[in-house]
Structure 1
Amino acid sequence: MVIRVSIAASSNEPSQEIVDASRIFIDRLRECMESFILYLGGYWGLMRYVAQHACRSGIHCVFILPENPREDPPRSQCYIPIYTGLSMRQRSEALVLSGDVLVSLGGSVGTIIEILMAYANSIPVYVLTGYGMDSDRVMNSFSPHADSRKLTEIKIYYRDPGGMAMDICKEVLQKTRRSRAMASETTRHG
């Protein structure tokens, strides 16, 4: 089963520290997950560094691009651009809804909006904090739940990109096992 991982990340030029943390996250995810695709909202800022490292590691990246994107992804076998013609906010919704999980690697208001969109749609949310990004505020405001409905848990990882990747792998594996068990049970009694 291919897992779709939507990435919420800064559109600004990132610090080397957050670039390194993002690489650790991708490397750990690749070590523990058989098959996954990254979904990104653009090819600029931190998103570019994530895509470049993923591509070098053989991981496919789908770009859900807004109208008039700042930059087009280069033509590469591992990059799949989708030119939506959507506004930035609409693009964010398409990005979030495309993933099985949403991973925030740090950003500003766009990243925070994507975290809340995922929560509102009951999509599991994983947030990397501790690198001085505006989205670090989510830790104090919305974790583990953004409201009383408790639609999904917003999981916070303070300076622990490897731990975040490992938890995603564990939870996806558990979900996959449950799905296979249910399918097997249905086949036996169907």
Structure 2
Amino acid sequence: MLGGYWGAMAYVADAARERGIEVVFVLPHDPPVIPPRGRGLVSIDTGMDFKGRSVILVRSSDALAALGGESGTMLEVLMAYSMGIPSVVLRSGMPSDTLERLGSGGGRVDSRDGPAISFVDTPEELARKSLEAARHGRQI
């Protein structure tokens, strides 16, 4: 599941499609880029703004993989954390890297017992840890 078809999400979608992996786009109203159509591609037009769409995207996820981003990415990571959904963030030099400095450290933002936010240095680690987290599922 992806929140759209622009930026890094387009690269992920294209790579998944080349490998025969189904891609579901959870779109905000008036997305900046319309995703391609075709076999294995599903677009859900939520009719919501970006923040509203993020609730559906995160709530529907077994785990969240964040490639790095700005406030929208940060919102999704914190939302996943609060919902007990494991999240993994790629250190990218983008504002989302600052999430690592929140709270008491160790990926804990507050006193919740759910999964901590994990931070990794490579896309390969992001993929591996995200899949592993998805297998374990939600913890709240």
User: Which ranges of structure 2 fall in alignment gaps of 5 or more residues?
Assistant: none
Asked whether 1:153 is paired with 2:116, we answer yes
| Aligned 1:110-149 pairs, distance under 5 A | 110-129=72-91, 131-142=92-103, 143-149=106-112
Aligned residue among 17, 31, 37 for 1:69: 31
Question: What is the alpha-carbon distance in structure 1 between the residues aligned to residue 126 and residue 35 of structure 2?
Answer: 27
What TM-score, normalized by structure 2, do the two folds share? 0.87
Question: 1:165: how far off?
Answer: 2.5
**1:85 and 2:47 matched:** yes
SS in 2 for 1:85: coil
Decide which structure has greater strand share. 1
Could you say which residue in structure 2 is the equivalent of 1:8?
none
Q: Give the match's secondary structure for 2:113.
A: coil
Q: Equivalent residue for 2:17?
A: 55
Mark the CA change 1:149 to 1:108 in structure 2 (over 3 Å): closer, same or farther: same
**Structure 2: distance between partners of 1:50 and 1:164:** 12
Greater RCO, 1 or 2 (C-alpha within 8 Å, sep 6+): 1
Contact 2:87/2:130, CA 8 A, preserved across alignment: no
Q: Structure 1 residue 92: deviation in Å?
A: 0.5
Q: Deviations over 1:34-53 (max 9, x none)?
A: xxxxx111111111111111
1:13-28 equivalences in 2 (<5 Å): none
How far 1:54 moved relative to its partner? 1.1
Q: For residue 24 of structure 2, give the secondary structure of its aligned residue in structure 1.
A: strand
- Quick one: distance in 2 between partners of 1:53 and 1:146? 32
Counterpart Cα distance in 2 of 1:152 and 1:84: 28
CA RMSD of aligned residues (A): 1.7
Unaligned runs of 5+ in 1: 1-38, 177-190
Larger Rg: 1
Amino acid at match of 1:150: D
- One-letter amino acid of the structure 2 residue matched with residue 135 of structure 1: S
Q: Against the structure 1 CA distance between its residues 109 and 170, is the aligned structure 2 distance closer, same or farther, given a 3 Å change threshold? A: closer
Q: CA deviation at 1:136?
A: 1.0
Query: Number of aligned pairs?
Result: 135
TM-score with structure 1 setting the length? 0.66
